[in-house]
A = this chain, B = another copy of it.
Amino acid sequence: MKIKVGIVGYGTIGKRVAWAVSKQPDMEVSGVVKTRPNWEVYSAIKKGYPIYTLKKSVETFRKKGIDVSGTFEDLLKDVDIIVDATPAGTGAKNKDLYSKYGVKQVFQGGEPVDLCEVSFNALVNYDRALRNECVRVVSCNTTGLVRALHALSKVSRLLSVRAVIVRRGADLKEIKKGPIEGLVLKPTKPPSHHAIDVKAVLGDLDIMTYAIVAPTTLAHMHVIRAELANNVSKEEIMQAFKTTPRIVLVNGDILSSTAELREFSKEFIREKGDIYENVIWEDSVWINGNEVMFVYAVHQEAVVVPENIDAIRALAGLITEPEESIKITDKVLGIGGWFK
């Protein structure tokens, strides 16, 4: 029997998670909750997902000719797990409702750190999420950081991490966000929330993060400096990157920007150009004794999608080993193996 998944919020993350759920062998999309009948709902309809909305909006949807399967609460009666991909902070308000219907919950990184017991990354704490009631999948930047640091920690213990995060200003569709010119130091007083969020996943760690917002929509870029407990070789670090799921390596002689990367992805990797992986520039990796620096890109719209899928499996509890869940997710979504 498949895990019945409801998607609440069908925006940037919701639509991608719904599509990814629909491709998994052990899951199905029971329905999508959409509060406004804007353009995004038509893509959900075309994909054949049952549409649900707020009770007060049912008539509005029907007047637009949208076939509504029921209300938000109707959907909750019929699902095992909800992926809440509503705007930051809305998920927390929905939590009691989910609990009332006995539905397990996957929240996104915009929700408060303490909303669930577990701030989730599949590589790190699948076991803690196993059969839990609720997990919070950390944000795109934090997911990128956690993967990269997890890979390093396989080589040697992390003593300290200093990261500069150049954030995309908005997603393409976000017409009210900025900047469209200039660089924004956000926050001006460090750390950015990423340091706190990484610790929510990895535990106590000497980490400091600065974030600069840039006028771009395509992807974030992170520059990492880490000190490890031991001196390390470039070979060891590269090997750790190569053997960590959801990390791919590219070289500067092939491409050097998020722009080329996204175009490359559309053409050669995936139809929609989504990039689920941390894309590390292998020539950016610099080793100096126990010091490691490197740079990677994070596609903010897509990077948390595989983590959402694994989070669903962990909560459902049928697959107990993270490696197994990751393997299924990555095979279905075609993650990794770009240059094989």
Q: How far is the CA of A164 from the CA of B187 in the complex (A)?
A: 17
**Cβ of B166 and Cβ of A214 under 8 Å apart?**
yes
A73 → chain B, closest Cβ, in Å? 42
Q: How far is the CA of A215 from the CA of B190 in the complex (A)?
A: 24
A110 → chain B, closest Cβ, in Å? 20
Q: How far is the CA of A212 from the CA of B259 in the complex (A)?
A: 13
Which residues of B are found within 8 Å of A288, using beta-carbon distances? Answer: 208
- A137-180, CB < 8 A from B: 162, 164, 166, 179
Which residues of B are found within 8 Å of A283, using beta-carbon distances? Answer: 188-189
Q: How far is the CA of A186 from the CA of B219 in the complex (A)?
A: 16
A22 → chain B, closest Cβ, in Å? 30
- Is A295's beta carbon under 8 Å from chain B? yes
- Is A284's beta carbon under 8 Å from chain B? yes
Contact A190 to B257, CB < 8 A, known contacts A162-B162, A208-B293? no
Which residues of B are found within 8 Å of A166, using beta-carbon distances? Answer: 166, 183, 212, 214
Which residues of B are found within 8 Å of A183, using beta-carbon distances? Answer: 166, 214, 216, 218-219, 221, 257-259, 297
A145 → chain B, closest Cβ, in Å? 15
List 19 additional contacts besides A188-B281, A225-B225; criterion CB under 8 Å. A162-B293, A166-B166, A166-B183, A179-B257, A179-B259, A181-B259, A182-B218, A182-B262, A183-B216, A183-B297, A185-B284, A187-B256, A188-B252, A188-B256, A188-B295, A189-B283, A214-B214, A214-B216, A215-B216
